[in-house]
Amino acid sequence: MKMGEWPENVGIVALELIFPSHYVEQAELEAYDKVSAGKYTVGLGQARMGFCTDREDINSLCLTVVTKLMERNKISYSEIGRLEVGTETILDKSKSVKTVLMQLFEESGNTDIEGVDTINACYGGTAALFNSVSWVESSAWDGRYALVVAGDIAVYAKGNARPTGGAGAIAMLIGANAPLVLDRGVRATHMKHAYDFYKPDLMSEYPTVDGKLSIQCYLSALDHCYQLFCSKSQKLLLDSREDERFELRHLDAVLFHVPYCKLVQKSLARLMLNDFVRSTEAEQAEKYPGLETFKHVKLEDTYFDRDVEKTFMTQSKGIFEEKTQPSLLLANQVGNMYTPSLYGGLVSLLISRGAQELAGKRVALFSYGSGLASSMFSLQVCCDASPGSPLQQLVANLSHIKSQLALRQKIPPEEFASIMEMREHNHHKAPYIPQASPDVLFPGTWYLESVDSLHRRFYKRLPMSS
């Protein structure tokens, strides 16, 4: 591209995702916690939960995912012009994770890299993505890639919320002529002040959570974003078909931020409920036979209405299995990764469907961060899935994800609880030498070596071969 030219088809060029090498079985955790069988596995829809020892922190996760993306895609560090990190896992109130990542660029001599950290619960990664896309489309763009990094360690105190934890990081390479192109002009955002989930105690990793309010905020934000997204998409994606209403059937896949998998199934049903409410009585009778008793329902009255929830979950089951369930592999196996959660869904979709099947499809994504910030946007998968095409390369470079899941080490609940207690007692301690062995981490993982008396953190990397 020449300076001053508007880049075309800006979006995601490459993806890399990492998760912890340890996990705990949710069924075993149910027995250990002495709760009813199925509370975590059926009630939450979770099978396994990844977690980190004291050898990994947000800096090490981000160092690992950036290094692996650059190596796997053979990208030079000099090719990056913007680097922005989305996270809510805070180690320092001043120094950004992005500046820690700059040590990876030292050998290349590249210090001309814009961007710092973006913070708001699970929404930071999406804000970083939007900012990076805007940079590529702006007069500031110098022809290089932008790099978006999102990572978090989600841990909770003992109790009902602990099984909804997880950990991971994702890196997204942003540029022109991308295989995953963000649709322009249809992005819908809803932001509001709420204390549904927040972290006021800076000496603790644990959040303060109002569980019921958090669900209400999530579903309300989904309603607002979806309605506005449909309104904008009606004008821009349906062209001149003014007699046709944009709705769920126009989307090939729908991805959500995943606090836990069961909420996502309810959320997909919620989109059908929105389509139902937006329909005329005649359309309701034609498209939704048997649901006449709900024709006067108001969305704001249904957040905890079990009859509405159950009915529309049943009605939308086939759509959920087709358009959303393939995106839940990582959420089910790793848990809530916070800022990478939505994009873990994108990775899950790509490795579940493959390049040929996804070529030309439109994917909607709903991002939510407590406090609250939310957006719905969409991307178009390019049509060329031929061997050697950018789309085929992107998907091929994610082919290791499923086998990596199988290589993890299962930890018994008793040991998991002990590790969580160790993290709790040593959080922000200085000086500190981590107690866990780094030898059980995946090859090529960066890990915390030590923290000195001035809270300076030092890292090393395991060799790529065991």
Cis peptide before 391 (omega within 30 of 0): no
Integer angstrom CA distances of residue 110 from 78, 106, 176, 387, 461: 6, 7, 21, 33, 21
Backbone conformation region of residue 177, classed left if phi is above 0, alpha if psi is from -120 to 50, else beta: left
The residues with which 173 forms a beta bridge, in sequence order, are 14, 147
Give the catalytic positions in this structure.
88, 122, 257
If you search the block for the tokens 């001309």, which residue do you land on? 112
Strands (E), 39-186: 48-51, 80-86, 117-118, 145-154, 166-175, 180-182
Integer angstrom CA distances of residue 5 from 132, 138, 178, 202: 17, 10, 16, 45
Residue type, 97: V
Cα distance between residue 168 and residue 16, in whole Å: 11
The residues with which 151 forms a beta bridge, in sequence order, are 169
CB 347 within 8 A of CB 125: no
- Other CB atoms within a 10 A radius of the CB of residue 187 amount to 17
Residue type, 320: F
The residues with which 253 forms a beta bridge, in sequence order, are 363
User: Which three-class secondary structure state does DSSP give residue 279?
Assistant: coil
- Maximum distance among all Cα pairs of the chain, rounded to whole angstroms: 71
